[in-house]
Amino acid sequence: MGCTKVSPACDGCYAEALMDKRYGKVQWGGERKRTGASTWHDPVRWQRHAEKDGDRPFVFCASLADIFDNQVPPEWRADAFAVMRATPSLVYLLLTKRPQNIVKLSDAAGGLPANAALGTTVEDQKRADINLPALEGARIETNPLFTFGSFEPLLGPVIIPPAFMPDWIITGGETDQGGHKARPTHPDWFRDLRDQAAAAGSAYHHKQNGEWVSVSEVAGPGAHYTFPDGATVRRIGKKLSGRTVDGIEHNAFPTFANMETHHA
């Protein structure tokens, strides 16, 4: 638990809103804390279920931290990697806003586990230009199951350089977190990423629209925000905004070596 903000996507950090502001368990930007033994044991239980069911569930790792945060004691990461190796049916999604640290910190923890996928957050073009090349470099060095880009919260238009296209593109709008009010996402920013994923043959998953939604997507009242080009979104709340783009849900998952079935 715990982290330090490094990027505009961190402005509305969900983990901070929960573990610092709401529960006071950790101070954001301060010392990292370790979660309890039962949390560390959960994957062992999930592994048993996965073996029984013969599937490969996806596990989002370290939702209250950044797994490649270099202020986390390295022994904790080595312990986490050991848990991953001991639970080979699980597919670990390691999402980071610090992809530059992946190779060094993985090497220090005994190498990236064979059942890990690597992803980075890309909220705007600047982060695309910095984080996607770093992710691709890490892919070459550490051989993950697949790579993914989390374009959530999407805060600007993004053109993905073709050489750095991840295997899986995930998009989403921003949601309110404590005192942080969600920034609107232009519907074309989602559409452009959907189309780039299709053109590249990458899987595309649209998680949710966030608090704002295109006026053409869902009818109803709510405060409007108009972008300079005239496109208008409306603030109707994350429950009502749904998860369609142009009326269609996008739920694709990547394919990878030794995959059987998988669940989100």
Residue ranges in contact with ligand SF4 by CB under 6 A: 3, 5-6, 10, 13, 15-16, 65-66, 97
- Cβ proximity of 182 and 211 under 8 Å: yes
Q: Which is nearer to ligand SF4, 97 or 235 (CB)?
A: 97
Nearest approach in angstroms of CB 28 to ligand SF4 is 7
Long-range contacts of 129-133 (CB under 8 A, 24+ apart): 129/161, 131/97, 131/99, 132/160, 132/161, 132/164, 132/165, 132/166, 133/161, 133/164
Q: How far is the CB of 256 from ligand SF4 (least distance, A)?
A: 24
Between 3 and 213, name the residue whose CB sits nearer to ligand SF4: 3
- For ligand SF4, the closer of residues 128 and 236 by Cβ is 128
Which residues 6+ apart lie within 8 Å of 213 measured at CB? 173, 233, 234, 236, 240, 241, 242
CB of 175 to ligand SF4, least distance (A): 13
Least spacing, CB of residue 121 vs ligand SF4, in Å? 7
Using omega within 30 degrees of 0 as the cis cutoff, is the peptide bond preceding 153 cis? Answer: yes
Instruction: Pick the closer one to ligand SF4 by CB: 95 or 116.
Output: 95
CB of 168 to ligand SF4, least distance (A): 19
Compute the Cα dihedral for 126, 132, 137, 141 and give only its sign.
positive
Instruction: Using the minimum distance from each CB to ligand SF4, give the nearer residue, 13 or 80.
Output: 13
52 to 37, 42, 45, 83: CA distances (angstroms): 24, 16, 11, 19
Strand (E) or helix (H) holding 239: helix 238-241
Distance of alpha carbon 211 from alpha carbon 237, whole angstroms: 4
Comparing CB distances to ligand SF4, the nearer of 68 and 212 is: 68
With residue 25 as reference, give the H or E element that holds it: none
User: Of 72 and 165, which has the nearer Cβ to ligand SF4?
Assistant: 72
User: What is the smallest separation between the CB atom of 71 and ligand SF4, expressed in angstroms?
Assistant: 10
DSSP readout, 65-102? S-TT-TTS-HHHHHHHHHHHHT-TTSEEEEEES-GGGH
Least distance (Å) between residue 10 CB and ligand SF4: 3
Strand (E) or helix (H) holding 117:
strand 116-121
How far apart are alpha carbons 64 and 95 in whole angstroms? 11
